Amino acid sequence: MSAERKFLNPGEVPAIPGTEGWERMYPYYYRFGMDKEREAYENSMLWYYDGLHYPEPMYPFDLIWDEAWYLGLSQYNTRIFMVPPAFGVDHRIVNGYIYISPVPVTDPKQVEERLQHFLQRAGYYYENWHDLYGRWKTKMEELIKEIDGIKFADLPDMEDISVVNDGVGRSSGYEIVKKYNYLIDRALLVWQYHFEFLNLGYAAFVTFADFCRKAFPGIDDGTITRMVGGIDVILFQPDMQLRKLAKLAVTLGVAGYFKDESAPAEIIAALGENEAGKKWLAEYEQAKHPWFYVSSGTGWYHDHYCWLDRPEIPFLSIKSYIKKVESGDSLERPTQKLIEERDRIVAEYSSLLQTQEDKDVYNQLLAISQKVFPFVEDHTFYVEHWSHSLFYKKIRELAVVFVKHGLINDSEDIWYLNRFEIGQALYDLVCAWATGVKACGASYWPQEIKWRKGVMEKFRGYNPPPALGVPPEVVTEPFTITLWGITTDRLAAWLDAGAVKTEDMNSLQGHPGSPGVVEGIARVVRGPSELGLLQEGEILVAPTTSPSWAPIFVKVSAAVTDVGGIMSHAAIVCREYGLPAVVGSGYATAAIKTGQKIRVDGNTGTVVILE
């Protein structure tokens, strides 16, 4: 890439008319260009749009997850494991979309000093991985239980007599503020744990992947992950439960209740009237915890409802699985075959290495990658699915209180306040409650929210540029490489694509996420709410996808995403389901229209619009 080719400077991004003042929806430290010095730093960096996590503009409240990992990821690189050449990843918002930038360690002396610490600290974690990971699961489960225990209820007109008799000395107003702060604290803690293993997991995996690419320049990323990937990963559990329930419905002879047109509540009511049905319901209840906390999306947005919130999603796939069982499909995953195939691939690549030294390094790096990989694959269920789904549920409880006191008109309006604003509004609310007056926010928030909704709508109709600023010579930050897949080719493609209008593109280059070639009709799905539109055999085109979309992966013939590398959720789930996938294409949802015929080549990472 030539030096003079660069992206827009952050300050040059045009404002969207009618959104002026949008910055106040987010904390001040997310703004570009506070003063000249900061602007000079920002203009010297590469900022890329994190569409992998944020295919939609940021709701002020949902920004909490971004804040959580701003701290979480960066501190493990910079302050805890002392990743030698990489500090953290910096964050900004423009026009409602998140841009991030890896910060390198530029002083060679400092890199050298950090290296010694890294060897000691990372070494400890790699060495004690299984033990530490076992403790991690316990920590997470306790934390999740704590979150589940937090309950928000309306404030009483008069405190209970026990407050007096027990000499409690505090009011429900104080308690609700405390609970909110505690809930926020727990949410941030979840994300502290999220990164406890992830940076090191990626670092080990990247090293194995780089060794493979050096030895076998033609190897594709999908094959590398197949070598280290687990077979029984937690993320497939929710879907496995549905398969089990479908088989059970057939065995118990209650499959007839699962009519296409019946809603979950009707089916459940009907099943409750007979013994076999009750048996099925008992199994269903058991499967729900914790597996139905799986989000119908990635879990990053409050409207990515989990299966508990939207039982029609799991019921839809139970129905389709029942049909498969009735037509003779066992619904068994060929686990043994998958293991054998993985082992064959591993052995065959090893046999192609030419020196014993190479074989030794290959085996070492493979072993460590296979050791770290279960965490890399499984942590999302604990964090983005289970914890997030529970957390949204709690905030919705609080929203009901807000509505009651007139701070917002509808409980779903709460997401238009950021976490600090909710804290302020809540304090406003309890003071007014204590004082016996109307909360000030009632005169402020409804109007402000109306304006914010308009701004969000305008953000939604805008295509954020994939990158801003100046690409560095070298990227050393493991996430930037593995998760976001920032490479020379990717940046060049973004630069080239920037010169062509997205609607005029007829082919796109992304990463080969999962092998295979398929031609078919495209269906652009911008979020989980549009999943119901997918028809059998269509190609899913989405900003990004989630493994919890598993039920629809039974239907689609291939997947294409705007953002993501080989470890993105879409790539993982497609490899598991044997569907071709192209991930990180940059512009698929903008360039491709529903109904167009496209060819997806998951071996080379190309998507061609055929008509």
Partner 1 sequence: MNTQNYVYWLRELDKDDVFIAGRKCKGLGEMLRAGLPVPPGFAISLKAYEKFIDETGVGSAITSYFEEIKSRLQDDISLFEKASEYICRLIESRPIPGEIQNYILSYYRELCDRCNVENVKVAVRSSGPVSMPGQFDTFLNIQGEEQLLDRVKKVWASSFNARAMHYRMQRAMPVESSPIGIAVLKMVNARASGVMFTLDPLNGDRSTIFIEASWGLGESLVSGQVTPDKFALNKVTMAITKRVICNKAIEMAYGPQGDVIPVDVEPARQNVPCLTDEEIVELGRLGKLVEADNKLPQDIEWAIDKDLPFPRNIILLQTRPETVWNKKEAKPLFKPGAGALNHIAGNLLTGKKIR
Residues that bind partner 1 (CB under 8 A): 1, 3, 83-86, 111, 115, 118-119, 122-123, 126, 203-204, 206-207, 210-211, 214-220, 223, 345, 348-349, 352, 354-355, 357-358, 360-361, 364-365, 367-368, 471-476, 478, 481, 486-488, 491, 515-517, 603-604
Residue 92 sits at φ, ψ, to 5 deg, of: -145, 170
Considering beta carbons, is residue 192 or 604 the nearer one to partner 1?
604
Considering beta carbons, is residue 118 or 459 the nearer one to partner 1?
118
Considering beta carbons, is residue 294 or 491 the nearer one to partner 1?
491
Considering beta carbons, is residue 83 or 176 the nearer one to partner 1?
83
Considering beta carbons, is residue 223 or 502 the nearer one to partner 1?
223
* Min CB(255)–partner 1 separation in Å: 38
* C-alpha radius of gyration, the chain, whole number: 25
> Torsion angle of alpha carbons 369, 373, 375, 376, nearest 10°?
110
Considering beta carbons, is residue 222 or 441 the nearer one to partner 1?
222
**Do 258 and 315 form a contact (C-beta atoms < 8 A)?**
yes
Considering beta carbons, is residue 214 or 289 the nearer one to partner 1?
214
Q: Angle CA(66)–CA(196)–CA(480) in degrees, nearest 5?
A: 55
**Cβ atoms within 10 Å, residue 143:** 18
* Min CB(466)–partner 1 separation in Å: 14
* Min CB(49)–partner 1 separation in Å: 16
Q: Which residues pair with 104 in a beta bridge?
A: 86
Closest of 399, 397, 396, 401 to residue 154, by C-alpha: 401
Tell me the C-alpha distance between 151 and 478, whole Å.
39
* Min CB(542)–partner 1 separation in Å: 24
* Min CB(566)–partner 1 separation in Å: 14
* Min CB(405)–partner 1 separation in Å: 52
* Min CB(117)–partner 1 separation in Å: 11
Q: Which residues pair with 468 in a beta bridge?
A: 47
Tell me the C-alpha distance between 153 and 309, whole Å.
20
> Torsion angle of alpha carbons 114, 119, 122, 128, nearest 10°?
-160
Considering beta carbons, is residue 105 or 248 the nearer one to partner 1?
105
* Min CB(352)–partner 1 separation in Å: 5
47: Cβ–Cβ under 8 A, 6 or more apart, which residues? 10, 92, 99, 100, 101, 467, 468, 469
Tell me the C-alpha distance between 205 and 371, whole Å.
10
Q: 458 by DSSP, 3-state: which?
A: helix
Q: Measured in whole angstroms, how far is the alpha carbon of residue 403 from the centre of its chain?
A: 29
Following DSSP, what letter does each residue of 494-516 receive, concatenated? HHHHHHS-GGG--EEE-EEEE--
